[in-house]
Structure 1
């Protein structure tokens, strides 16, 4: 056996395979490119040794069928198939990093890794140990049906998560709003659920199947800016144009809103009591909507004093007042 042409190459393949595992672990998970280089080098070395010795990893060994030789042959082929899987996964991880969507493709990575390992496992069983794969697949199919019925809800979450990831309706860091009113920033997406961090800093865990059944509004696309509206009622004692110009001055004086596109002041309605104005402006992100709203309200109050404007009472609180006595309020009426 020791003088056989296959023995030395098989031993060398085992040595390269084990050395590759050791060096691969020494690289650490923070150096994916270094790991990929190690995987390629050792896999290429193992493939070259087997090729020169005319040993096919995808065919059962007819030279060593039992004893120590069979152990060396099978371990060499198992190591070769393992390094093949790691090399393929390494290339996929580098591709995900180059496309700069590592968080978005988290589920796709897990699914691809699972498919690669499953394919390699079946290859080892069929090519190394000579077990008929067809019988094994048929048996595993029955088991899969039983498990599918038992894990129906969980599998629904899994496939819903895959569908949401492939659809790219949102990504990690996006602020989304659901049809039931739930909104928050996506902090994590896994096989079973999606985590949302709300504006009140509460963490909501939504099963993917529940999320897939609702309409999702992505408030972070095409960008993070968000439009807000603030309605103010003024006593009808000044011209509407003067009220409009005063509100435009308020919007221009604000430091917390976006100036492009420019904010606007829309005159909504007028009656004998009040002029209603809607202030339309954009903010950088939903996180700043409270400070921006507070600033606008404060500037409106200040502008009332500067421009001699009077804030009108809300429509629901109007009472009959004799002619010549217009209702005057110094507190903003915000809708």
Structure 2
């Protein structure tokens, strides 16, 4: 059994580590700020005890490898490394919160969390249990290649989602349109797909790999004001001036149409059968359009 110079600090670290986990769970998900404070305080206290006891979290002393003391020494270091991971993740949450874009940064946040947990797990295996990390990493690399080949489509969606997030081609709430004609407001982005809410109030799930390969038109930038040119054919039984007056009156009385700039009328063709009139106006957002696509000519 090792001396009291290490025994008492290691026991205290075990107590602090377990107490931190219990308090963290008692806080609950409804109190993220309280949870973060608990993580930081307990980790700082555990690190202070390590420093005052001159105990290294990276290796076990020879005196600690005797008898039952090895369990206390290893558990203390495992708890310290675990709280280190939680503290780093807590600061990541703070950074995301300060940027005021928690949902857009969701993919990157999950990626950082995965890297932190992987790094801490390898550190515990190497420093606490003394296992050789090199062969383990090499074996993990082979396994990763096999899994990658089996999950090509899923990984394509994953990295496409990260690329789209970094590129900021759109954010949550933007109205976008794809080259295949699919359009809607971005409701959610995750590891696999992007969910669009269409004007018909339907949810469209687009895989990130498909989204990355297609051209994306962001209809919300620089703003959502949208210009529409709508072609109408009217029987040639009325004078063009009367048609223009009636059409302008209809446009000016429509609540969905922006009054500034004012709507306009353009005559495209006149023959013995019909008058082709193009109604030109602005709407507040792409969602305000309610015209069947087959009955209109539209230019953004």
The alignment's TM-score, normalised by the length of structure 2, stands at: 0.88
| Matched residue SS, 2:65 | coil
The aligned counterpart of 1:12 is 12
Distance 1:262 1:99 in 2: 39
The aligned counterpart of 1:307 is none
- Number of equivalences: 294
- Residue 28 of structure 1: CA displacement? 1.7
| Matched residue SS, 1:67 | coil
- Residue 245 of structure 1: CA displacement? 5.4
The aligned counterpart of 1:31 is 31
What pairs with 1:174-323 in structure 2 (closer than 5 Å)?
174-233=174-233, 235=236, 238=239, 244=244, 247-270=247-270, 275-290=275-290
- Residue 67 of structure 1: CA displacement? 3.2
Q: 1:191 to 1:66 in 2, by over 3 A?
A: farther
- Residue 254 of structure 1: CA displacement? 2.4
Q: 1:96 to 1:261 in 2, by over 3 A?
A: farther
Query: Does the Cα contact within 8 Å between 1:61 and 1:73 map onto a contact in 2?
Result: no
Deviations 1:276-333 (A, max 9, x none): 432222222333322xx69xxxxxxxxxxxxxxxxxxxxxxxxxxxxxxxxxxxxxx9
| Matched residue SS, 2:5 | coil
The aligned counterpart of 2:155 is 155
- Residue 173 of structure 1: CA displacement? 2.7
Instruction: For structure 2, list consecutive stretches of 5 or more residues without a partner in the other structure.
Output: none
Instruction: For structure 1, list consecutive stretches of 5 or more residues without a partner in the other structure.
Output: 295-332
The aligned counterpart of 1:84 is 84
The aligned counterpart of 2:52 is 52
Rg: which structure is higher? 1
| Matched residue SS, 1:195 | strand
Q: 1:233 to 1:60 in 2, by over 3 A?
A: same
Distance 2:89 2:5 in 1: 33
The alignment's TM-score, normalised by the length of structure 1, stands at: 0.79
- Residue 208 of structure 1: CA displacement? 1.8
Query: Does the Cα contact within 8 Å between 1:39 and 1:83 map onto a contact in 2?
Result: yes
The aligned counterpart of 1:126 is 126
Distance 1:245 1:89 in 2: 64
Deviations 1:209-267 (A, max 9, x none): 22221111222333333222222345485465x75555444333322222233333334
The aligned counterpart of 1:325 is none
The root-mean-square deviation of aligned C-alpha atoms, in Å, is 2.5
Q: 1:73 to 1:279 in 2, by over 3 A?
A: same
Q: 1:20 to 1:265 in 2, by over 3 A?
A: same
Deviations 1:70-100 (A, max 9, x none): 1111111111111111111111112212212
- Residue 168 of structure 1: CA displacement? 1.7
Q: 1:143 to 1:251 in 2, by over 3 A?
A: same
1:41 aligns with 2:41: yes
| Matched residue SS, 1:116 | helix
